[in-house]
């Protein structure tokens, strides 16, 4: 469980990293205005790790677009489960399970890649 908790923290940092990304290609509104300057104090993720997480999520996109939308709404935009459910047309409980399953998938992808 500790491993998954660490990945959740990393994905939260990834969301901050994405919001500060100059490309702004995600086009998801944030529920809280936030501006990040690359390398700013408090950004606890390296560019390399953020890119690894980004690659995992890009790979997941090819398998489950709804899961990726939920990830972006949660970690990039900061939405709660109820708001995610509303935006995706699913229940709050289903949204929470979708996020939990997606985090587990990203965890497996990241650590499976490291083991290889």
CA–CA dist 95, 77 (Å, integer): 15
- The pLDDT score that the predictor gives to residue 48 is 86
Q: Give the domain extent around 18.
A: 2-115
Who's near 3: CB < 8 A, 6+ residues apart?
A: 107, 111
- The pLDDT score that the predictor gives to residue 35 is 44
pTM (predicted TM-score)? 0.78
* Chain segment 18-66, per-residue pLDDT in tens: 887 755 444 444 444 444 444 444 568 888 888 899 899 999 988 999 9
Q: Helices 92-115 and 47-61, interaxial angle, to 10°? A: 120
* Chain segment 60-75, per-residue pLDDT in tens: 988 999 999 999 999 9
Count of structural domains within the chain: 1
* Chain segment 77-100, per-residue pLDDT in tens: 999 999 999 999 999 999 999 999
């Amino acid at each position: 469980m500790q491993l998954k908790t660490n990945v959740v923290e990393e994905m939260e940092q990834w969301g901050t990293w994405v919001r500060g990304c100059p490309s702004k290609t995600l086009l998801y509104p944030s529920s809280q205005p936030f501006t990040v300057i690359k390398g700013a104090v408090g950004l606890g993720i390296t560019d390399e790790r953020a890119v690894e997480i980004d690659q995992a999520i890009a790979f997941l996109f090819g398998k489950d677009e709804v899961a990726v939308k939920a990830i972006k709404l949660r970690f990039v935009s900061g939405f709660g489960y109820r708001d995610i459910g509303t935006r995706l047309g699913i229940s709050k409980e289903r949204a929470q399970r979708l996020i939990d399953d997606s985090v587990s998938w990203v965890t497996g992808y990241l650590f499976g890649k490291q083991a290889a």
